[in-house]
Amino acid sequence: MATEYKPPALPSPFSNTKPPPILLTQGAEAHLYKTVSINPAIPAALKIRPSKPYRHPILDRKLTRQRIIQEARCMIKLVREGVKVPAVLAMDWEGQGGDEGGWGGAWLMMEWIEGPVVRVVLEKWEAWFKANRGTMDEAQITAAEAPVRALLRRIGAAIAALHKAGVVHGDLTTSNLMLRTSEWDQEDRAIEGEVVIIDFGLASQSVQDEDRAVDLYVLERAMGSTHPLSEPFFEELLVGYREGNKGAISTIRRLEDVRLRGRKRSMLG
């Protein structure tokens, strides 16, 4: 049996907030908590990057700090440009709050986005579709696919807004896209809500077609492996990306090259 995972102690002041932060996810690099902001009535997401004990402490501090500052910088810029991303509420990059010369890690507190990640929405839809399409006629299938097509268009438009603001994400997956909605329940196939992009841990400032095309390609591949029934509608995402985006044509042309390189690489094994 697996031993129960025990996250490292929270840095001050979160080590004694009431109610205590709730651990939601624990990735390789970061721990995500739900907590409250300075106004306890307002929920917040807390992303903690613990220090890595196997790295030299000076190097570790420098890398952790660079990473969180880069992440916050991109988010602040995007909020200012009107792109839908969580607002930054507070952060610490100095690794204060620990004992004996500091805690070494860094944290970022941001606006809480109410709603599911797109991965969960598509998983539920695909499971339902798989179970029911056998009993549906062509018109019913078209109607069932419509909300997914519409969602992919909205995602394309959100990525276009991100790119137009001069930021590339670096890790676009359906876990890093959320739907802001308090309405969603698993049985509901309406798929409402505003697309919010999260997780700027690998983002950077770039206006290069190559970087933008790689962003789209990474998401296309991620969809192919996680959402095989939705991936055929990826073209809808590109339709949404193109709408009102003058730069889209050259980026999508570049995407063809990136796909070709990807295929060659996978043929070489």
Ligand X SMILES: Nc1ncnc2c1ncn2[C@@H]1O[C@H](COP(=O)(O)OP(=O)(O)OP(=O)(O)O)[C@@H](O)[C@H]1O
The residues of the shown chain that bind Mg ion, judged by CB under 5 A, are: 176, 199
According to the binding rule CB under 6 A, does residue 25 interact with ligand X? yes
Would residue 99 show up in a list of annotated catalytic residues for this protein?
A: no
Catalytic residue among 60, 92, 137, 171: 171
Q: Smallest distance, Å, CB 163 to Mg ion? A: 19
16 is written with which tokens? 């004694």
* Cα(109)–Cα(46) distance, integer angstroms: 4
235 binds, among Mg ion, ligand X, none (CB under 5 to 8 A by kind): none
Pairing of strands 167-168, 177-180: unpaired
Q: Residue 47 pairs with which residues in a beta bridge?
A: 32, 108
Residue 134: C-alpha distances to residues 130, 137, 140 (Å)? 8, 8, 11
C-alpha span between 145 and 148 (Å, rounded): 5
In this chain, which stretch among 148-156, 161-169, 197-205, 254-262 interacts with ligand X, using CB under 6 A? Answer: 197-205
242 binds, among Mg ion, ligand X, none (CB under 5 to 8 A by kind): none
- The item of Mg ion, ligand X, none sharing an interface with residue 192, based on CB under 5 to 8 Å by kind, is none
Which C-beta is closer to Mg ion: that of 34 or that of 149? 34
Closest to 49 (Cα-Cα) out of 77, 81, 86, 8: 8
Residue in 194, 238, 232 with CA at minimum distance from that of residue 215: 238
**Tokens matching residue 117:** 């990640």
**Could you say which residues in the range 240-269 bind ligand X, by CB under 6 A?**
none
- Interface with ligand X (CB under 6 A), residue from 68, 74, 83, 113: 113
Interface ranges with ligand X (CB under 6 A): 24-25, 27-30, 32, 45, 47, 86, 110-113, 117, 171, 175-176, 198-199, 201
